[in-house]
Structures are given as structure tokens and as C-alpha cells.
Amino acid sequence: MTAKGFSDDRDEIVMQDMAWPEISKAIEGGFKTVIIMLSSVEQHGPHLPLNTDSIIADELAQRVARRLGHTLIAPTIRPGCSGHHLCLPGTISLRPQVLLDILRDYCSSLARHGFKKIILISSHGGNFSPLKTFSPTLVREFSRLQIIHYGDLSGYMDLWEKEVIRLGIKPEKAGGHACLGETSEIHRLKPEAVREHRIEPGFTGPIKGLRSKVFREGVQVITKNGVIGDPRGSTPEIGEALLEKMSTHLAEWVKQEG
């Protein structure tokens, strides 16, 4: 279902592409839910741009919003909490408290305009822990809003791995950062951004037991080029399959949360 005069086309659900009368009309017509994506500005190996997580976040938000209906998309928050990537140039990392203040201002602004439900989702693993910590604070401070956040990083990565295996790919190639999976997603969404001549493998061992060490000490403890996985063999088709699987999962999660 959509508001009168509105369909779920990109220009009519992405707030930064809309004019204020269009947003006002959408809210009056029942678009009371808004998605806030959190992403990053951080190194993604020698072959992907710093805004990789933002490109993916914007696409996931659109796919989830279309599945939900009556949902608008706020501007993606970038940068994020990326301290574990500061070892490589270009990464910009927010202090967790700064991220909380940004979220407060987002929620305050959106509540003022009549939104009733806010969905917080991160495309960047480093935002999951701060978001889990801050979510109760946001819920308490904005009692007029229904605020839900997706906080299951392990579950998300497990689902990612299962889809990778279903596609016939070894999990080590899609380790989770600038890997075959993310590179395939950028091949699907913005192929001109992939530096094909710089594609090379990084750390290709099991990553599950090392994630906390990476978050704590930095990616340099396991990879010199910033890649976790092996991006060689990436394709737009693999990227589409992963985007579709993960966006379907996120939309189903939102519906279950109510």
C-alpha cells in the first residue's frame, strides 16, 4: 500500500531526493515509518572506494522500504565508528558519543515532523556495538517514537555465509570486508568504482574467532592490504543474490519486531 499520489519509486521514498511538500504529503498519507541506515567512511582494500558501506546501505534501505511499504528513507549516516580501520589512510571514525548525538538529532527532527516509527540498521559491523549500547537511551528519551534497531551482527554474518555457500563460494573468499561478496555488490551497484587492476586477496583464514580481536586491535593484526577474504571472481550476479537475500532478511526482521 502507498499514500495517494505516491508509489514506492526511488524519488518518492528517499527523503534527500524529495522536496518538503512531497515529504509532508507522504506523512499525511500514512508514511509514518522511516529507515535510518548507519554506514562508514573507511578503507575497503586497494580496489574499493571508502564509501563502499554507504553505497550498500543506500541500496539495502530502498529494498527494505519497498518491501515494508509506507516507509521513507532518511539520509544515511556516514561516517561511523571505524577505529579498527584507522591503520589505513582515508578512514574517518566517529567517537561513539558523537554517533549517539547524531542519532539524537535525527530522532528529534523526525519526531517533530510526525514520524512514529524509526528503524535503525547498520551496513558496517563497527556500528553494531555502539548501536546496541545506545538503543535503550534513544528509546527512553524519545518515548513518542517506536525505535527498533537491528543488532545481531553474528546472525547477519552467519546468514551471509550461508548464502555464500549456497552460491558455491568458499566462505573464506567472502570474509566480510572488501571481499568477494562486497566487491560483487559494488560490481552490481556501481561497477565503475571497482579498481579491477588492484583486486587482490587479503586474509583468507577463518574469521569467526578473530572478529573481536580485529575490533579491539585493528585490521592490521590479520591483513596488510585491508582485505578480509578474496575478491577475485566477484560478479554482479553474486552481488545481486547477496543484496536480495540480506534485504529480504532485514525486511522480515522489521515485520517480526512490529
Let me know if residue 109 belongs to a domain. yes
Residue 2 lies in a domain: no
Answer whether residue 1 is part of any domain. no
Report the pLDDT averaged over residues 114-133: 96
CB of 127 closer than 8 Å to CB of 80: yes
Arithmetic mean of pLDDT, 125-140:
95
pLDDT at 160 over 70: yes
Number of domains in the chain: 1
Read off the C-alpha cell for 64.
527494505
Q: pLDDT tens digits, residue range 168-191? A: 988 888 888 999 999 999 999 999
- Percent over 90 (pLDDT), the chain: 87
pLDDT digits (tens, 9 = 90+) for 200-227: 999 999 887 888 899 999 999 999 999 9
Write down the pLDDT at residue 104: 97
- Nine-digit cell string for 245: 537475500
C-alpha 76/C-alpha 93 separation (Å) is 15
Please compute the mean of the pLDDT values over residues 125-136 and round it to a whole number.
94
Question: So what's the pLDDT on residue 206?
Answer: 86
Which of 55, 155, 137 lies closest to 99 in space, CA to CA?
Answer: 137
Q: What's the CATH number where 130 sits?
A: 3.40.50.10310
What is the band of 232 on the pLDDT scale with cuts at 50, 70, 90?
Answer: very high
Residue 9 has pLDDT above 70, yes or no: no
pLDDT classification of 7: cutoffs 50, 70, 90 = very low
Range of the domain at 160: 10-257
**Residue 4 falls inside a structural domain:** no
Please give the helix or strand (H or E) that residue 31 lies within, else none. Answer: none
Distances (CA, A) of 155 to 3, 208, 242: 34, 12, 15
* pLDDT reading at 159 higher than 90: yes
Residue 8: is its pLDDT beyond 60? no
Handedness of CA 157, 256, 73, 83 (dihedral sign): negative
Give the DSSP per-residue string, 126-187: GGHHHHHHHHHHHHHHTTTSEEEE---HHHHHHHHHHHHHHTT--GGGG-SBSSHHHHHHHH
pLDDT at 11 over 70: no
d(CA 104, CA 118): 12
Does residue 143 belong to any structural domain of this protein?
yes
The residue type found at 187 is H
Backbone φ, ψ for residue 184 (5° rounding): -65, -40
Flag whether pLDDT at 125 surpasses 50. yes
Q: Which helix (H) or strand (E) holds 71?
A: strand 71-73
- Answer yes or no: is 16 within a domain: yes
Residue 5 lies in a domain: no
Report pLDDT digits (tens) over 69-86: 999 999 999 999 999 999
CB 123 within 8 A of CB 86: no
Average pLDDT over residues 113-132: 96
Any domain includes 161: yes
Q: Which residues of 72-97 are buried (b: 16+ CB within 10 A; e: fewer)?
A: bbbebbbbbbbbbbbbbeebebbebe
Cβ atoms within 10 A of the Cβ of 64, count?
25
Radius of gyration of the chain (CA): 18
